[in-house]
Structure 1
Amino acid sequence: MNLLVPSANDDGGFHGPTINEFFPEVIFFADTPFEINRIILIRFLAVAVLLVLFWVGTRRMKVIPTRMQSLVEMGLDFTRVSMAEDLLGKKDGKRFLPLITTVFFMVLFMNLTGVIPGLNIAGTSVIGVPLVLAVVAYIAFIYAGVKKHAGAFFRNSLFPPGVPPALYVIVTPIEFLSTFIIRPVTLTLRLMMNMIVGHLLLVLFFAGTQFFFFTVDGPFKLFGAGTLIFGFIFTLFEVLIAVLQAYVFAILTTVYIQLALTEEH
């Protein structure tokens, strides 16, 4: 099913994108816990391409790298230097580098499926993947804090030192919500909503282009050129958003781990 077309109805009018596009029909294993639809297949494809690229780029490492090896090494150096080691230091950065690298590239490749012709929807535009990755980041945050500070982690997170004891009745619920509830929720929603909005706008532009070019008559066809231009411009912008959201998700995961490791706990 091509999602970059308007809804087909007998009235010949324009019908823009709807939220139903994020709930496609089941393709395999209907009425079972293992139902697979179009978006899940896109997720499988994104992960498969990611694994193949890294396998090809690292299977025969050379002193003088090939182009694919150089590309993979640039990506790995980016997550290692700009995220892990920059925020966590060399020791802790090395510990959490596999997690940070996996989060960044998984989000990136699934985001980019939203602008690939024939796929046209991001694997992160439905809550499953963003929620799972946010839970992984949340678990890593708690693990890092408990591992580094043992029992003091939860105590200092919920009862910050230096606060008058009488204020804990106000401060502790706020700290609990902001630290242990809001963080994974905002990680999930920030990524998912950006991908949803980007998809809807792309569909709107290109559906409008098809409508003006092939349905309306007269000078109104010229509007199709405008929606086509805006569609291509927004496609480039959506690529930027895909990269930026992958970076934001990975960097926030790293920041949360850094906060758990700080001496204040």
Structure 2
Amino acid sequence: MKTLIDLNADAGESFGRWRLGDDERLLPLVSSVNVACGWHAGDPATMRRSVELARASGTALGAHPGLADLAGFGRRSMALSPADAADACLYQYGALRGFADALGVPVVHVKPHGAFYGLTMRDPAITGAIAEACASVSPELIVVLLAGEPATQAEAAGARVAREAFADLDYDDDGHIIIEPRPAAKDPAACAGRVMSILDGYVTTVSGKRVEVDADTVCLHGDRPNAVDIAAAIRERLDDAGVRVAPIAEVLAVRS
């Protein structure tokens, strides 16, 4: 069983007067945060506040670029060329980087959101374009992608890659996550159990099949109604097992 893991959460997904998630309570429970950059959620004030929360909690900051789909929260499918995908990542990374630089917080990683993440599971050309775009910013900038083929493809394209698994999403028999349009509450104990299986090197699919997984980081979703309870249950289970939670860069340094 692995004894070191990053725990990341998607957050900063409020927009204007519409509040989504309890970031103030969630961020101290995770080691990395993926902040929405304005296309699927996250207005400028929310982005600034998210960076402030990451700084206050010592949580590693990452950009969470999505598709230009506010109404669908970036979870509806869109067609992008590889060049469009690369530009979308760089544009949204740059938006968050402005706030991060102003507040003295480094942007450590980039992780596509929702249906954008789904494109990287289906189209190696898009995965490669995103990887090359991030590597062009800095060889130290980490790209977070699904453990398995997407992560391997991005690494081959020259990016520094963190392999991701999911605490609160189901898997199909191909080892792909099943994205929920409207996340519902999930059993915290079951999510914590999923994390422990990931540390043991596998996930169980919806059909009961075991699929091998080698993950550096495990995600939970801040827009799930009981996200804080899920994060707390995961941390308690990890603490009991003697597993240390650390930011992505530290996990990758140990891996290498």
Q: Same fold (TM over 0.5)?
A: no
Higher normalized strand content (fraction of residues)? 2
TM-score of the superposition, structure 1-length normalised? Answer: 0.25
